[in-house]
Amino acid sequence: MDWLEEVKEKQKRKNKILFSKNSILFGGLNTLIQTKERFEVVLWALGLAEEAAAELERLYPEDTRPRTAVYMAREWAAGRIKMRAAQRAILDCHAGARETDNAVGAALYHAAAQACSTVHTTGHALGLPIYELTAVVLRLGADSCREAVESRVKEYETRLLETDCSDYSGSRADFLK
């Protein structure tokens, strides 16, 4: 089954999340996530989290939770704070999704938070694409989103391929070494 057919089925069932981690759309990306160094996946995810946070700032200029979550996740990845402080900020970002009646905004809150959670485990790495692409479908409509979604997946893959921590000179938490 084509990924778009799956998305349309999920929309018919009124699912809030339109993609799954097992979607054929994520085959190449999932393979890259499994083969890259953990810290490279974290850097990739936090870069994408920055973009989601910026989009949320445009939608909700008064809400600092997404930007705070990204900042705290970076501090956690650098070993400057413990998980609990970052976890609170990430959960606060997720809470933004429950507080809005805008489905696109809700998906973006979850996207940013999931990307930040990648510091904890790479199992969260597909969370950003799952939620961000849900926002793309909701914004463009299922009949008009194919090119945008597939292009964004290629961008995820390219950016992850280009992420290399061999010359990274910043701080890194011991659990990410």
Q: What is the 3-state secondary structure (H, E, C) of 14-52?
A: CCCCCCCCCCHHHHHHHHHHHHCCHHHHHHHHHHHHHHH
**Domain of residue 37, residue span:** 3-10+25-164
- Whether residue 176 is contained in a domain is answered as no
Residue 159 lies in a domain: yes
Tokens of 103: 């489905």
In a domain, 172, yes or no: no
pLDDT for 1 beyond 80: no
Determine, yes or no, domain membership for 82: yes
- 145 belongs to a structural domain: yes
Per residue in 112-132, pLDDT (tens digit) is 999 999 999 999 999 999 999
CA distance 107 to 138: 9
Provide the pLDDT confidence category of residue 177 given band limits of 50, 70 and 90: confident
Decide: 10 and 18 in contact? Cβ < 8 Å.
yes
Please indicate, yes or no, if residue 55 is contained in any of the structural domains.
yes
Residue 171 lies in a domain: no
Domains in the chain, number: 1
For the segment 55-95, what is each residue's pLDDT rounded down to a tens digit?
A: 999 999 999 999 999 999 999 999 999 999 999 999 999 99
Q: ∠ CA(27), CA(29), CA(35), 5° rounding?
A: 105
> From CA 119, how far away is CA 41, in angstroms rounded?
9
